Copies of this chain bind each other. A is one copy, B any other.
């Protein structure tokens, strides 16, 4: 039974990405009490005034109704083309490091820094926004804190290695963006109808092809989307999900090997993100015989709350006392 007592909010949180803005009124246990969305991604705005206006539109009412609440934002709003260029925190990065890196534009929210992974032997890697989801994930699930792999599927999927509650390294895979540009702008999309129903079999066929023959190369295997179509071997309705399976399969192939290379031994693997996308990754992980140990929806509100606490903007540790 749901109790009728209205929770008192503890935080106003924003996930302010390149293309969208989501805002939450967050309760003391990380629960989302109210949600608002706006079509005001950081890449669509230019100049301080535009950010102030979008910020006021989405959260001004809450700030008036609940004066004094801390306001935290994560995502591309903190990039060079966002509201304020907040310097990256460096790996290993946990809640304390991220909280110490919070920066605030005039009249704006505290913005969480992104994270930079900088290995001497490899190109650097960067994230903005996902670090907050990782903090929320670790806050909500103590089994992941000591050692785990947290995978955040998306336009730019992130594979993060967690040790002692900190992101020690991570790798980005452009899986979602590759799917979108290949579907919309390449020869592969031409045979795909817009309204094809989801085809789980085609998806699994693509995953298995990547698993079994991925050494033939992604740029080769995706051409099969065309050759299977023009030869009539796969109905056009199945081609989009076959491509999705190939791309996610290649991500898992590389990601699981990357994870193994870390030599950290057995550790839980968690998927964090949109449920329909996580469901695809769950199926694909099964095909690789490495099912996910935990699947979580958006953990950014809990992450923003944990960071507000770590920064001393809220009383300490009420989450633990729930």
Q: Which residues of A are interface residues toward B (Cβ below 8 A)?
A: 79-80, 116, 118, 122-126, 156, 171-175, 177-178, 181-182, 184-187, 209, 213, 215-224, 226-228, 230-231, 233, 247, 250-251, 253-255, 257-258
Contact = CB atoms under 8 A, between A and B. Distances in A.
A123 B250 contact: no
A191 B125 CA distance: 16
Given A227-B124, A227-B126, A219 B247 contact: yes
A55 to B, nearest CB: 24
Task: Please tell me how many copies of the chain the complex holds.
Answer: 2
A233 B124 contact: yes
Nearest to A126: B227
A126 B258 CA distance: 33
Given A124-B233, A231-B116, A250-B219, A187 B182 contact: no
Contact of A217 (B122, B187, B216, B253): B253
Contacts of A171: 216, 220
Contacts of A172: 220, 223, 227
Nearest to A226: B126
A184 B228 CA distance: 26
A219 B182 contact: no
Contacts of A231: 116, 118, 124, 126
Contacts of A254: 215-217, 219-220
10 contacts: A79-B230, A122-B213, A124-B233, A125-B223, A126-B230, A173-B220, A177-B187, A178-B219, A217-B253, A217-B258
Contacts of A251: 217, 219-220
Given A80-B230, A177-B186, A220-B254, 14 more contacts: A118-B231, A123-B224, A124-B228, A124-B231, A126-B230, A126-B231, A171-B220, A172-B223, A172-B227, A174-B222, A181-B185, A185-B185, A215-B257, A219-B254
